[in-house]
């Protein structure tokens, strides 16, 4: 059985906007959800890493944010999909897929 992980991607280009992709599952499932273009820039984390970051964010301790790239993924979850963030904090795992794109130009 393949390990369930969280994949996170953040893509920004002037004139093209900002795209966030965050999803759970196997690496192959996450890459399939992201598509061939966005899957190149994905970073993968364990549920435990994201859970620790979500808990740390609540303590308002920003000291570790620079040392842990998982904080970016946890922050996107907390701000955009708070129900998923809550489930991960409480249960350590849930299945989800989220893609957000916006362009202010």
In the three-class reduction of DSSP (H, G, I as helix; E, B as strand; rest coil), residue 9 is classed as strand
* pLDDT for position 20: 95
DSSP letters spanning 69-87? THHHHHHHHHHH-HHHHHH
What pTM did the predictor assign?
A: 0.87
Give the three-class secondary structure for 52.
helix
pLDDT tens figures, 59-68 = 876 666 666 7
Q: What pLDDT sits at residue 14?
A: 80
Rounded to the nearest 10 degrees, how much is the dihedral formed by the CA atoms of 65, 86, 88, 40? -60
Return the closest-CA partner of residue 98 out of 82, 73, 81, 79.
81
44 neighbors 87 (Cβ within 8 angstroms):
no
Q: Which residues of the chain have a pLDDT value below 50?
A: none
């Amino acid at each position: 059985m393949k390990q369930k992980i969280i994949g996170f991607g953040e893509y920004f280009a002037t004139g093209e906007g900002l795209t966030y992709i965050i999803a759970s599952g196997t690496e192959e499932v996450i890459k399939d959800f992201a598509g061939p273009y966005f899957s190149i820039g994905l970073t993968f984390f364990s549920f435990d890493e994201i859970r620790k970051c979500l808990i740390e964010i609540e303590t308002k301790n920003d000291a570790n944010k620079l040392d842990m790239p998982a904080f970016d993924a946890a922050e996107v979850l907390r701000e955009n999909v708070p129900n998923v963030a809550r489930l991960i904090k409480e249960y350590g795992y849930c299945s989800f897929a989220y893609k957000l794109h916006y362009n202010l130009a």
